[in-house]
């Protein structure tokens, strides 16, 4: 059994809301899946929040995607930046985070898997 044959883990990823970016960049059927098993649930949720909101913004000491989303931990944002999935821009207390190409690939894989799981229900 290879790592690609392993069953995907349960996640708390919600594919309900999509940004215009989501519609323009679906994971192509021929595109390989990102290895999402290496991501914690917090990192998965942060990537999806960033994808759905077209970025994260630091507000009141926490990172936020959409206004009604849960805040994302600064440690999680820093970890994703070190992993090459987010680019950060900061100016004193103001900050923003955007997905890199790699981060977008992981987020699109997560969303495709969440959509597939929802279709099975």
Q: Does 12 or 120 have the greater pLDDT score?
A: 120
Band of the pLDDT at 25, cuts 50, 70, 90?
A: low
Rounded mean pLDDT, 46-65:
92
- Ranges of each domain in the chain: 32-120
State what percent of residues in the chain have pLDDT above 70.
Answer: 79
Architecture of domain 32-120: Orthogonal Bundle (1.10)
pLDDT at 69 over 60: yes
**pTM for this structure?**
0.77
pLDDT at 15 over 90: no
pLDDT at 23 over 50: no
Three-state DSSP string of 56-121: EEEECCEEECCCCCCCECHHHHHHHHHCCCEEEEEECCEEEEEECHHHHHHHHHHHHHHHHHHHHC
């Amino acid at each position: 059994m290879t790592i690609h044959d392993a069953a995907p883990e349960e996640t708390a990823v919600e594919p309900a809301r999509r940004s215009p970016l989501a519609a323009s960049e679906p994971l192509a059927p021929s595109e390989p899946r990102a290895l999402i098993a290496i991501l914690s649930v917090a990192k998965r949720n942060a990537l999806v929040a960033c994808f759905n909101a077209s970025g994260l913004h630091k507000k009141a000491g926490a990172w936020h995607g959409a206004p009604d989303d849960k805040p994302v931990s600064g440690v999680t944002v820093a970890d994703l930046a070190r992993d090459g999935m987010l680019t950060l821009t900061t100016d004193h207390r103001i900050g923003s985070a955007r997905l890199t190409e790699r981060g977008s690939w992981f987020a699109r894989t997560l969303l495709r898997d969440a959509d597939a799981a929802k279709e099975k229900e």
